[in-house]
């Protein structure tokens, strides 16, 4: 299983790009899992609901099961990203994570000029490429943010390496 973080500033188009890439990568035959990281407290249930009460009483993990979908809730230790990935079943070929910039995994940086911020890049990061709406000379491939098919081809090539 390969894992890739798609990172960039708010409003840069990370979610839009991810939503465009998922069907293209699936069409190519990959089993792709998606992760959305947030800095906000995640609430999958409302306080007082039965599933919330079960979790508060010590159910670890707790599942909320409906007719067409289920949700798994587990307590998370900060930085325990590998344990989280190990829970993915069936094991995907590729995990695309929007955010998770602190995970030590390869990154695709998303840059949109209209956001008005400098390219988000930390020294020592494992950056595969930058997807941008303007050409950039940066030492790694600069992919056209508005061409998700080209970005998918790039990721498929990287996946096959």
Transcribe 61-113 into DSSP letters: SEEEE-SS-EEEE----TT-HHHHHHT-SSPPSEEEEES-TTSSS-EEEEE-G
Most confidently modeled of 23-32, 41-50, 100-109?
23-32
User: Which of the two residues, 116 and 25, has the higher pLDDT score?
Assistant: 25
Domain count, the chain: 1
Per DSSP, the chain holds a count of helices (H) and strands (E) of 4, 8
Is 59 a domain residue? no
Is 35 a domain residue? yes
User: Which of the two residues, 93 and 48, has the higher pLDDT score?
Assistant: 93
The residue range of the domain holding 106 is 2-42+77-160
CA angle 101, 34, 152 (to 5 degrees): 90
Interatomic CA distance for residues 158 and 106, integer angstroms = 11
Nearest Cα to 30, choosing from 152, 161, 119, 120?
152
User: Which of the two residues, 151 and 63, has the higher pLDDT score?
Assistant: 151
Interatomic CA distance for residues 11 and 111, integer angstroms = 9
Mean pLDDT to the nearest integer, 69-90: 74
Is 7 a domain residue? yes
pLDDT at res. 86: 75
Whether omega before 90 lies within 30 degrees of 0, making that bond cis, reads yes
Give the list of residues 6+ apart from residue 144 with CB closer than 8 angstroms, or none.
Answer: 131, 132, 133, 150, 151
CATH number at residue 119: 3.40.50.300
pLDDT at res. 142: 96
User: Which of the two residues, 28 and 57, has the higher pLDDT score?
Assistant: 28
Of the listed ranges 31-35, 66-70, 154-158, the one predicted with least confidence:
66-70
Is 10 a domain residue? yes
Interatomic CA distance for residues 100 and 29, integer angstroms = 25
3-state secondary structure of 157: helix
- Percent of the chain past pLDDT 70, that is, above it, reads 91
Nearest Cα to 108, choosing from 159, 160, 155?
155
Is 120 a domain residue? yes
Reported as a pLDDT band with limits 50, 70 and 90, residue 85 is confident
pLDDT at res. 91: 78
Reported as a pLDDT band with limits 50, 70 and 90, residue 26 is very high
Q: Is the pLDDT of residue 132 over 90?
A: yes
pTM for the structure as a whole? 0.81
């Amino acid at each position: 299983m390969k894992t890739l973080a798609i990172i960039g500033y708010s409003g840069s188009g990370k979610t839009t790009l991810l939503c465009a890439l998922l069907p293209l990568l699936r069409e190519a035959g990959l089993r792709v899992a998606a992760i959305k990281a947030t800095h906000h407290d995640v609430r999958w249930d409302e306080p007082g609901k039965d599933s919330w009460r079960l979790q508060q009483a010590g159910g670890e993990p707790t599942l909320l099961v409906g007719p067409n979908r289920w949700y798994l809730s587990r307590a998370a230790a900060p930085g325990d990203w590998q344990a989280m990935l190990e829970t993915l079943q069936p094991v995907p070929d590729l995990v695309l994570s929007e955010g998770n910039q602190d995970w030590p995994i390869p990154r695709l940086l998303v840059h949109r000029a209209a956001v008005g911020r400098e390219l988000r890049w930390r020294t020592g990061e494992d950056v595969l490429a930058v997807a941008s709406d303007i050409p950039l000379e940066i030492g790694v491939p600069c992919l056209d943010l508005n061409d998700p098919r080209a970005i998918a081809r790039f990721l498929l090539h990287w996946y096959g390496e």
